């Protein structure tokens, strides 16, 4: 019977199970969730998750991210080499985040939040940055 094993890689506590076959997924979990955000910073983790996954998702979804009340969860899928590549790239980004796309992703998330209020799904919203702290939302019916 296989059991959960524990090891440490570069100071990160890791748990794994030897299933007798190559790995097909890996999970990176952080005990930091929506409940940990102060009210005035609500949404920051969601924005960070989007930035971390920017340009990492394809139609085959090799890596995905989720937020819950108590944790942030990334999962990578594929063969062992692909998993190591995806998790490695994500870990490198998390160690030194590139925030150049922050305004774009922030605008997209704001548009999604605004669009979610449209219960009938009849409206289209476009978000455009018009100044250093301004976004213009164009509504199309």
Same domain? For 49 and 115 the reply is no
- Give the dihedral of Cα atoms 27, 3, 79, 28; nearest 10 deg: 10
Degrees, nearest 5: CA angle 117-123-124? 105
Residue 115 has pLDDT above 80, yes or no: no
Residue that wins the pLDDT comparison between 41 and 58: 41
Residue 52 CB-density burial (10 A; 0-12 exposed, 13-18 middle, 19+ buried): buried
Across 108-120, average pLDDT: 66
Other beta carbons within 10 angstroms of residue 72's beta carbon come to 22
Across 9-14, average pLDDT: 80
Same domain? For 34 and 10 the reply is yes
Same domain? For 44 and 72 the reply is yes
Expressed as residue numbers, the domain containing 45 is 4-95
Same domain? For 78 and 128 the reply is no
* Structure confidence at residue 70 as a pLDDT band (50, 70, 90): very high
Q: Rounded to an integer, what distance in angstroms lies between the CA atom of residue 74 and that of residue 30?
A: 9
Same domain? For 21 and 85 the reply is yes
What CATH number did the domain enclosing 15 receive? 3.30.830.10
As for how many domains the chain has, the answer is 2
> Which of 26-40, 44-58, 64-78 shows the lowest mean pLDDT across its residues?
44-58
String of DSSP letters for the chain: ---EEEEEETTEEEEEE--SS---EEEEEES--GGGS-GGGTTHHHHHHHHHHTTT--TT--EEEEE-SS-EEEEEESSHHHHHHHHHHHHHHHHS---TTHHHHHHHHHHHHHHHT-TT---EEEEEEEETTEEEEEEE-
pLDDT in tens, 23-49: 888 899 999 998 998 887 788 888 888
Same domain? For 18 and 40 the reply is yes
């Amino acid at each position: 019977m296989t059991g959960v094993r524990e090891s440490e890689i570069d100071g990160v506590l890791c748990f794994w199970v030897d299933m007798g076959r190559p790995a097909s997924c890996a999970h990176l979990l952080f005990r930091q969730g929506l409940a940990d955000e102060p009210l005035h910073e609500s949404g920051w983790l969601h924005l960070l998750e989007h930035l971390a996954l920017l340009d990492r998702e394809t139609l085959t979804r090799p890596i995905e991210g989720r937020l819950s009340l108590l944790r942030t969860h990334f999962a990578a899928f594929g063969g062992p080499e692909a998993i190591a590549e995806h998790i490695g790239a994500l870990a490198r980004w998390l160690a030194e985040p590139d925030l150049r796309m922050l305004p774009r992703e922030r605008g997209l998330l704001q548009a999604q939040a605004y669009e979610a209020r449209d219960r009938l799904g009849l409206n289209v919203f476009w978000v455009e940055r018009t100044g250093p702290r301004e976004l213009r939302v164009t509504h199309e019916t």
